[in-house]
Structure formats: C-alpha cells, structure tokens
Amino acid sequence: KAMRYIFGKTLICRNLEIATDMSKEYGLDCITIDGDQVSSKGTLTGGYFKNMRSKLEIQKQRTELMSQIKESEDKLAELRNQLKETEDKINQVVSEMQRTEMKNTKSKTNFDKLKADIRLMKEELLGIERYRTPKERSLAQCSSNLEAMQTTRSGLESELHQDLLAQLSVVDQLEMDKLNDDIRRLTQENKSAFATRMKLEAEKNKLENLLTNNLIRRKDELIQALQEISVEERKRTLDNSRLELAGIEKRIEQVNKDFKAMEKKVQEAVKRQKAEQEELEKYRVKEKEAQEKLDSDSKDLTKVAAKQQILRQKIDECTTKIQELGSMPQPEMINKYMAYTSKNLFKELEKANGHLKKYSHVNKKALDQFMSFSDQKEK
C-alpha cells in the first residue's frame, strides 16, 4: 500500500499530448515512453542535450570573415579607382591623337590648296606675259599710224584753209575728189583706230590692275607662305608627328596591357569576393543553425533543470514519506539507490511492487483479523 501510495499517481502515456491532457484532467503525474515527464503542477520536463560547437567560436569566425570581406571590398574599390584612372588616361591619349591627326590633316589640306593656287597663278601669269608682247607691238604700231594720220590731217586742213587762186582743172578736181574720199576714209579709219586704241588701253589697264593688285600680291603672299612652310620644316614636322604618334601608340599599347592586367585582377578579385561571399553565406547558415541549436539546447537544458528539480522534490517527498512510515533502511542501501538512474529505480520499484503483491493476501488476512478482533472487542 505504501508503494502504491507513493507511485500510484504516475501514469505512463503514449505521447506528450496525451500526457498533458491527462495531467490537466485528472491531476496525475504523467511520463511518456520517450522519457518526457509532465507534472500535475504544470511543469513540463524531458528532452535531450546535444554537444555542439561553441557560440563564441562561431562569432569569432564570423568576425574574421567580415574583416576579410571588408578588406576585399576595399581592395576592389581601389582596383576600380585605378581602372577609372587608366580609362581617363586612355581617353586623354586618344583625344590628343585625334587633335594631332586633325592638325596634320588641316596642314596637309592648306598645303595642297596653296600648291594649287600657286600653279594656277603661274599659269595665269604665263598667259598674260604671252599675250602682252603682241599687244604692246600692236599698240606701238597703232600709235605711229595715228601720229602719221594726224600729221597728214593737219597738212590737209592747212591746205583747205588756204584761198583758191584759180579755178581747178578737171584733173585737179578729180584729184581733189579723190583726196576728199581718202580724207573721209582715213577719218573713218582714224575713228576706228581710236576706238580700238581706247579699247586696248582699257584692256591694258585692266590687265595691269589685275597683275599689280591681285596676281603680284597673291604671288608675294604665296612666296611668303612657302617660305614660312618650307619643305624641310614640313618634313621635320611630319617626322616629329610620326615620332609623337609612335610614342602615343606605345603608350596606348602599354595602357592596354595595364588595363588588361587590371581587368584580370578585378575579375580575380570579383571571383574571390564571390567565393568569400558564398563562404560567408555558408557560415551564416551554420551560425543560424548553431543559434537555433543553442536555443533548442537552452530550452532542453531548462527542461532538464526543471526535471532535475522535480526529481529532487520527488526524492524529498519520498524520503519524507519513508520517514513517516517507520525506520529508515541502512545508509548503504540509500547510497546504493541514490546512484541509480531513473530507469533503474523504476525497475527496482516494479520488482518491489511484484514482491508486495505476493504478500497482499497476508495483509488482507491481517486486516480481516484486525477487523474481527475490533468487532469482538466492541461486543
């Protein structure tokens, strides 16, 4: 009866849910097959504890990885700045090359234009000189003819103003008519020659104007331009431009090599950053799992502590009840059973219950005798 009184309130249940319901409904201490215990006072105990890696070690690794990521990001930013500076240098060199090419093209265009103008001016000058001599000869001849005609005219006019002393003969009259016809013809020729002369003088003035004001001045300008832009200077400028172009091409080639090397470093840094990012994600997942396990272990530890507290209370209650029942067993037996686990204690209790059941009829017989004796005593 004593053992049943002590352990009769503990109920073995199939799972934790049934154990909780039974404990709330009937006020019994329940235990599941897995070892979880539900107290009638509302305390839940049980579970297990897993030995995992330390949280401090995980935090230390996380800090190291974060510092490595920061260093990689700083290095990547530095490489990007270097890449930007290299691109700016390349753009400057390309702009300088374009300006040099434009300058060379412009100089070549001006030179070709000056050569064409000089050639045209020379051709015009040769044409003018070729037609100038015949025109001058024709002009001199016309001038001499005009002077002779003017002399003849003066003589004839003086003769006309003289008084005729006698009547002209028929021959003289014919001669006079002929001379008058010649005078009219020569006068007409004189007018034509004068008009031709005026026309030739106008053309002469025009040609002199063109030669003096335009062609000669243009010739002087071209000669001065040719003196300023000599062949040797153009060759020297061309050689300098070629040397400068070769230097710029070498610089561009070097910059391209540096750019490719820098791009390779950037790609390696990006790959390394990606790998470190993936590793960081793995560590974060591990950290999360470790945190979850740590929380779970903390809960399990709380459950174990509560269960241990309940067991101590049970031990104290059992000790108190055993003391109330009578004499205590020997200390060696107490120490022996104190070293047992809960499962072994339950096995010993089951054995004790089995032995007590064997003597249950003796207790019943003694109780019947006690009741009979009490009835007889009352009678």
Note whether 221 and 104 are same-domain residues: yes
Q: What are phi and psi of 54, to 5 degrees?
A: -65, 140
Q: Which residues pair with 136 in a beta bridge?
A: none
Mean pLDDT computed over every residue of the chain? 73
- Whether pTM exceeds 0.85: no
Phi-psi region of 263 (alpha: psi -120 to 50; beta: other; left: phi over 0): alpha
pLDDT at 47 over 50: no
Which of 37-41, 231-235, 328-332 is predicted least confidently? Answer: 328-332
The mean pLDDT value for 212-240 works out to: 66
Q: Pick the closest to residue 214 from 115, 134, 120 (CA basis).
A: 120
- For residue 297, the model assigns a pLDDT of 77
Q: Which of the residue ranges 11-25, 28-42, 44-58, 135-149 has the most confident prediction, judged by mean pLDDT?
A: 11-25
Q: Which amino acid is at 212?
A: T
CB 254 within 8 A of CB 86: no
pLDDT at 245 over 80: no
Q: How confident is the model at residue 164 (pLDDT cuts 50, 70, 90)?
A: very low
pLDDT at 3 over 50: no
Which of 79-88, 104-113, 313-322 is predicted least confidently? Answer: 313-322
Structural domain ending residue among the three candidates 243, 275, 307: 275
Cα-Cα-Cα-Cα dihedral sign, residues 225, 228, 234, 240: negative
Q: Please indicate, yes or no, if residue 24 is contained in any of the structural domains.
A: yes
- For residue 264, the model assigns a pLDDT of 78
User: d(Cα 379, Cα 376) in Å, to the nearest integer?
Assistant: 5
Note whether 242 and 95 are same-domain residues: yes
- For residue 234, the model assigns a pLDDT of 65
Q: Please indicate, yes or no, if residue 36 is contained in any of the structural domains.
A: yes
Q: 3-state class of 45 per DSSP?
A: strand
pLDDT at 250 over 50: yes
Q: What percent of the chain has pLDDT over 70?
A: 68
Which of 132-141, 170-179, 354-363 is predicted least confidently? Answer: 354-363
Q: Please indicate, yes or no, if residue 374 is contained in any of the structural domains.
A: no
The mean pLDDT value for 330-336 works out to: 62
Q: Which residues pair with 12 in a beta bridge?
A: 31
CB 335 within 8 A of CB 73: no
Structural domain ending residue among the three candidates 240, 275, 310: 275
Q: Please indicate, yes or no, if residue 67 is contained in any of the structural domains.
A: no
Q: Please indicate, yes or no, if residue 17 is contained in any of the structural domains.
A: yes
Residues 6+ apart with CB under 8 A from 38: 16, 19, 20, 23, 29, 30, 31, 32, 44, 45
Q: Please indicate, yes or no, if residue 331 is contained in any of the structural domains.
A: no
Note whether 4 and 118 are same-domain residues: no
Q: 3-state class of 12 per DSSP?
A: strand
pLDDT at 374 over 70: no
CB 341 within 8 A of CB 349: no
CATH number, domain containing residue 41: 3.30.70.1620
Q: How confident is the model at residue 49 (pLDDT cuts 50, 70, 90)?
A: very low
Note whether 26 and 125 are same-domain residues: no
Q: Which residues pair with 32 in a beta bridge?
A: 13
CA dihedral 95, 101, 102, 107 (to 10 degrees): 150
Sheet of 37-38, strand order? 10-13, 29-32, 37-38, 44-45
Note whether 10 and 84 are same-domain residues: no
Note whether 229 and 184 are same-domain residues: yes
Q: How confident is the model at residue 55 (pLDDT cuts 50, 70, 90)?
A: low
Domain containing 16: what range? 1-46
- For residue 36, the model assigns a pLDDT of 81
Note whether 22 and 90 are same-domain residues: no
Note whether 21 and 80 are same-domain residues: no
87-105: pLDDT as tens digits: 888 888 888 888 888 888 8
pLDDT at 46 over 50: no
Q: What are phi and psi of 313, to 5 degrees?
A: -60, -40
- The pair of structure tokens assigned to 260 is 């490719």
Note whether 5 and 153 are same-domain residues: no
273-293: pLDDT as tens digits: 777 777 767 767 777 777 787
The mean pLDDT value for 260-270 works out to: 74
120-151: pLDDT as tens digits: 887 777 777 777 777 777 777 777 777 877 77
Q: How confident is the model at residue 166 (pLDDT cuts 50, 70, 90)?
A: very low
User: d(Cα 256, Cα 248) in Å, to the nearest integer?
Assistant: 12
Q: What are phi and psi of 46, to 5 degrees?
A: 125, -170
- For residue 15, the model assigns a pLDDT of 85
Structural domain ending residue among the three candidates 275, 290, 310: 275
CB 197 within 8 A of CB 146: yes
Higher pLDDT, 174 or 48: 174
Residues 6+ apart with CB under 8 A from 80: 266
- For residue 106, the model assigns a pLDDT of 84
Higher pLDDT, 267 or 165: 267
Which of 21-35, 155-169, 316-330 is predicted least confidently? Answer: 155-169
Number of domains in the chain: 2
Q: Please indicate, yes or no, if residue 378 is contained in any of the structural domains.
A: no
Could you give the C-alpha distances from 249 to 91, 237, 242, 268, in angstroms and in order?
A: 13, 18, 10, 28
Q: Please indicate, yes or no, if residue 250 is contained in any of the structural domains.
A: yes
Higher pLDDT, 99 or 201: 99
Residues 6+ apart with CB under 8 A from 79: 262, 265, 266, 269
Whose structure tokens read 């004796």?
A: 373
